[in-house]
Amino acid sequence: MEPVIVGISGGSASGKTTLARQLVEHYEDKSLILSLDCYYKGQYGSDVDISKLNFDSPESLDMELFQSHLKAIHRGEAILIPQYDFATHARMNKKIMFHPTPIVIIEGIFLFNVLGIADFNLKVFVDVPDDIRLIRRLIRDGLERSRSVDSVITQYLSSVRPMHYKYVLPDKSMADLVIDGELIDEKRQLSTLIESIDRLIK
């Protein structure tokens, strides 16, 4: 049986992963998450200036591999997911075996306008104001990736924000459901999303 594929798009630090985890907590072993972040191309060599790389453009991701994996998931086939290390900006040696479940939740900063809406049974967009997303990035990148405030702000202004308007925000108009990312823990929003998924799997 072909799995139901739920796409969760939205800007950086909008709450996509949080929402995906809430769905897995609800559906338990009937669902799994596949993150587009796993498909970042590795950046190798001491001469690579990471601060000048644009991680918010489709060109930074191995979209060919991701699309081939997405087709395999549609067929119910297992895939080997690459693992990306955000600290070293390189792909790790290990890969994770992914066996499609009845519900596959795919989350990433741009899905619908880059991949095409036909790949998803339900398209969700997590909407959050720019200032809130920037604050979340400052906290996350400082704590989890040991980055300075200046480097986070520079990257946000040079690539994150302009790429958001070019590649990410168009997904909002293609979404079946828009979630307020400032109220990501509100039960009413999650219930509406679960109801939409339940209609697809019955």
pLDDT tens column, 151-181? 888 888 988 899 999 999 999 999 999 999 8
pTM comes to 0.89
CA–CA dist 131, 47 (Å, integer)? 33
CA–CA dist 22, 103 (Å, integer)? 13
Please report where in the chains the tokens 């995906």 appear, as a residue.
20
Q: Which domain holds residue 26?
A: 4-201
CATH of the domain at 122: 3.40.50.300
- 3-state DSSP assignment of residue 101: coil
CA–CA dist 164, 156 (Å, integer)? 10
- pLDDT tens per residue, range 13-33: 999 999 999 999 999 999 999
Number of domains in the chain: 1
- pLDDT tens per residue, range 42-78: 765 555 566 667 888 898 899 999 999 999 999 999 9
- 3-state DSSP assignment of residue 12: coil
The DSSP bridge partners found for residue 8 are 107, 124
